[in-house]
Amino acid sequence: MSKLNLSDMTPKRSLALFFLVLTAVLWSLGGLLIKLVDWNPIAIAGARSLIAAVLMLFFIKKPDFKFTFKKFAASFAYAGTVLIFVCANKLTTAANAIVLQYTAPIYVAILGALFLREKVRWYDVITIVAVFGGMTLFFIDELSPGNMLGNILAIISGVFFALEALLLRHQKDDSPLDRIFWGNVMTAVIAIPFMFDTLPDSKSISGIILLGVFQLGFSYILYSFAIKNVTALEAVLIPIIEPVLNPIWVALVVHEIPGFYSLIGGSVVLVAVTFRCIYIYFCRRKMY
């Protein structure tokens, strides 16, 4: 494996880096837009995914209709991630929801050890302890039962996100975007019964369109191109823009500020997960 040459900024790689940054920014708008939409959270997730699926269909052109258990499981894990995450955003602060979902790499390490017999290394143990320590701080702030449920749902969303990552990794020779497309279709189908209880107003419809077209649709199309043309470290670090910007947009527009202990806990989680990813990257480089 050749050494990483940071000066190698070909037009294709430069475009990929730009797309990756833009992807993270688009993802970060999710918390704000979900807060602004006045509708059932499951209906929001379904409508957003329906719009995103239509957009992705134009991009992939011919989706794969051959279903296997792994393909269905990956799409189901994606559907669980987006459905539960939207519900969490409605029940707790956007900062809590995104940071608690960002604990997914820790669940990947745990699930990989349990089901794939992957070795848990010393830095995994330290990171797991740090992350779970940070997570406990989210529950120290004075919370209503709804906020508590939102935090729990955000953690569950992170578990589904970890399952999605593991399943997509084991299908790396196939198209990840195809699995995400079917996951969006599945999300839309699950949400159909919730879409007719009430109808969203014009402001909410505008928010749903922005969620479907830009925050979910275009973002994953850009990501599918970018991920093939950037380094592993860039693919891990640049998306950290999302959990950083997400609560900032919400604080600026909706004036929703997370509690003091949640801020500390979120910082612990972000730092622990980020340094684990950096350490793994440089360890793997030394192996080649």
Residuewise pLDDT in 10s, the chain (288 residues) = 444 444 455 677 788 889 999 999 999 999 999 999 999 999 999 999 999 999 999 988 888 888 888 889 999 999 999 999 999 999 999 999 999 998 888 888 888 777 767 777 888 888 888 988 888 888 887 566 668 899 999 999 999 998 988 887 776 566 778 889 999 999 999 999 999 888 899 999 999 999 999 999 999 899 888 877 777 667 767 888 899 899 999 999 999 988 888 899 989 998 988 888 788 777 766 665
pLDDT in the model for residue 66: 84
Q: Which amino acid is at 128?
A: I
| pLDDT at res. 64 | 84
User: Which residue is associated with the tokens 């143990």?
Assistant: 125
* DSSP conformational letter for 239: G
197 in any annotated domain: yes
In this prediction, residue 27 carries a pLDDT of: 94
> In this structure, is residue 175 part of a structural domain?
yes
CA–CA gap between residue 90 and residue 73 (Å, rounded): 26
142-159 per-residue burial string, b: 16 or more CB within 10 A, e: under 16? ebeeebeebbbbbbbbbb
- Residue 215 to residue 208: CA distance in whole angstroms: 10
Range of the structural domain that residue 193 is part of: 36-286
Smallest CA-to-CA distance from 237 within 278, 202, 197 is with: 278
**Number of domains making up the chain:** 1
- Contacts of 69 by beta carbon, 8 Å cutoff, 6+ apart: none
Domain assignment of residue 26, yes or no? no
Residue 196 within any structural domain of the chain: yes
- Give the C-alpha separation, 59 to 52, whole Å: 11
d(CA 271, CA 204): 35
Q: Would you put residue 61 in left (φ > 0), alpha (ψ -120 to 50) or beta?
A: left
Q: How far apart are CA 215 and CA 211, in angstroms?
A: 5
Position 19 in a domain: no
Residue 9 lies in a domain: no
Question: What does DSSP assign to residue 119?
Answer: P
pTM of the model: 0.85
Among residues 222, 240, 248, which one has the least CA distance to residue 277? 240
In a domain, residue 247? The reply is yes
Residue 269 lies in a domain: yes
